[in-house]
């Protein structure tokens, strides 16, 4: 499980997390992604970083199902705190409360947080 907690731009964490996810998928692992805190902004629709000179990597999230990465979870509290709903997201996700998210994390063999 890869936990994404940072905004998509401003730091490189989101991009380099995505790179690990793609590699892990090629290792035939049971890969899932969690988006919480500012990490929910990573999958918000309509990203346009063109004015910053940094590439828009948000399209890659839409390609994840091609790598058999289909388990995407978003924390409800993180969405609500930022005035976002599932309709604002560019991929299909499962929205979970923080308690359910904690249970899910406890089941994982490995959790890597970025």
Q: Which residues bind other proteins (CB under 8 A)?
A: 12-13, 16, 19-20, 23-24, 26-27, 29, 109-110, 112-114
By beta-carbon proximity to other proteins, the closer residue of 69 and 95 is 69
* DSSP characters over 76-88: HHHHHHTT--GGG
The Cα-based distances of 106 to 1, 60, 86, 102, 109 in angstroms read 11, 27, 24, 6, 8
By beta-carbon proximity to other proteins, the closer residue of 95 and 101 is 101
Q: Residue 23 Cβ, how far from other proteins at the closest point, in Å?
A: 4
Q: Residue 57 Cβ, how far from other proteins at the closest point, in Å?
A: 13
Cβ atoms < 10 Å from Cβ of 114: 19
By beta-carbon proximity to other proteins, the closer residue of 18 and 93 is 18
Q: Which residues, including other chains, have CB under 8 Å from residue 112's CB and lie 6 or more apart?
A: 1, 2, 3, 17, 20
Q: Which residues, including other chains, have CB under 8 Å from residue 87's CB and lie 6 or more apart?
A: none
Q: Residue 61 Cβ, how far from other proteins at the closest point, in Å?
A: 18
Q: Residue 12 Cβ, how far from other proteins at the closest point, in Å?
A: 6
By beta-carbon proximity to other proteins, the closer residue of 69 and 89 is 69
């Amino acid at each position: 499980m890869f936990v994404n907690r940072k905004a998509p731009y401003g730091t490189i964490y989101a991009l380099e997390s995505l790179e690990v996810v793609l590699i892990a998928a090629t290792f035939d692992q049971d890969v899932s992604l969690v988006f919480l805190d500012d990490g929910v902004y990573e999958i918000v629709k309509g990203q346009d970083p063109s004015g910053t000179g940094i590439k828009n990597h948000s399209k890659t999230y839409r390609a994840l199902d091609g790598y058999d990465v289909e388990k995407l979870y978003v924390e409800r509290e993180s969405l609500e705190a930022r005035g976002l709903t599932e309709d604002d997201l560019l991929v299909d996700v499962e929205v979970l409360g923080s308690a359910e998210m904690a249970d899910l994390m406890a089941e994982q063999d490995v959790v890597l947080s970025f």
